[in-house]
Chains A and B, each alone.
Chain A
Amino acid sequence: MWTYERKLQYPVNITRPNPAMAKFIMSQYGGPDGEIAASMRYLSQRYSMDNKKVAGLLTDIGTEELAHMEMIAAIVRQLTKGCSAEELKESGLGEYYIDHTGAIWPQAAGGIPFNACEFQSKGDPLTDLFEDLAAEQKARTTYDNILRLVKDHEVADPIRFLRQREVVHFQRFGEGLRMYQEQLDSKNYYAFNPSFDK
């Protein structure tokens, strides 16, 4: 279970709306390498992770990703708050406005809706951990792409925090992979699915 704390993980206080930037940043909510995909990936994978320490790591990182979802939603909300229908249309958010008004809804920057096929839960611990390592790098690349376009420090500051967390999670998953491999035959890690073919 979870307990909600009524605070963000890192402050988001944006005073200058910029709906065009919101359209880009919302990709880290419901896009292919976004925070929803990250959280659902780790929280789904943990059930078949037959190493208690690594299952714990998946739970804790998956939980932190929930807080990142909330931060991205806060950024998008604050960047679009108070914008008129006309301003949203001019910024490229016209179609989004028609379907969602000023709400938060998970989609990629290009309008593709969030889909569970953006992540895997394969049921093979090594396969899943390699996916997790790749996912952290893909998210970091997306944050780098966003940061090249963001000029407002009020937006860049929380985005830099989130980018940094991708780096830390990559490091931890690398350590998790090593811990898992230590319980296998070092001559052949990939002979079978160690959690299924006992």
Chain B
Amino acid sequence: MERMKMLEWVQALCFVVVDMELYLDTHPCDEEALAFYRDSVENYEKAKRKFEEMYGPLTAVKSMDCERWAWADVPLPWEGVR
């Protein structure tokens, strides 16, 4: 399923950002890590934007771009794919 594959990609890129944030919390002066963090955020934002254009908003505020309240139609993440 295409949506699931693309969501997994967004999840993976988001994970890099989250993990790097914890690393930088305790290594705030690591410049190499900071540069990697910037790239990670950029990659994540790009993938998220693409996903949202195709499959609808991941955050409520992104429903602003839709004509109706699309937030209500987005699948609930805990239901999984069966």
Q: Which one of B22, B28, B71, B77 lies within 8 Å of A7 (CB-CB)?
A: B77
Contacts of B14 in A (CB 8 A): 5, 7, 9
Contacts of B15 in A (CB 8 A): 9-10
Q: A53-B28, A57-B22 known; A74 and B80 CB under 8 Å? A: yes
Q: Establish whether residues A74 and B77, one from each chain, have CB atoms under 8 Å apart when the complex forms.
A: yes
Does B31 sit within 8 A of A, measured CB to CB? no
Q: Establish whether residues A53 and B11, one from each chain, have CB atoms under 8 Å apart when the complex forms.
A: no
**How far does the Cβ of A45 sit from chain B's closest Cβ, in whole Å?**
15
Q: Establish whether residues A5 and B78, one from each chain, have CB atoms under 8 Å apart when the complex forms.
A: no
**Number of A-B residue pairs having CB atoms within 8 Å of each other in the complex:** 81
Does B8 sit within 8 A of A, measured CB to CB? yes
Q: Establish whether residues A60 and B80, one from each chain, have CB atoms under 8 Å apart when the complex forms.
A: no
Does A92 sit within 8 A of B, measured CB to CB? no
Interface size on A, residues (CB 8 A): 31
Contacts of A61 in B (CB 8 A): 22
Q: Establish whether residues A78 and B80, one from each chain, have CB atoms under 8 Å apart when the complex forms.
A: yes
Q: A13-B80, A78-B80 known; A6 and B74 CB under 8 Å? A: yes
Q: Mark A1-27, 1 if CB is under 8 A from B, else 0.
A: 001111111111111000000000000
Q: Establish whether residues A12 and B59, one from each chain, have CB atoms under 8 Å apart when the complex forms.
A: no
Q: Which 9 A-B pairs have the closest CB atoms?
A: A74-B78, A175-B26, A57-B25, A13-B80, A8-B77, A13-B81, A78-B80, A5-B58, A172-B22
Residues of B at under 8 Å CB distance from A?
A: 4, 7-8, 10-11, 14-15, 18-19, 21-23, 25-28, 57-61, 71, 74-82
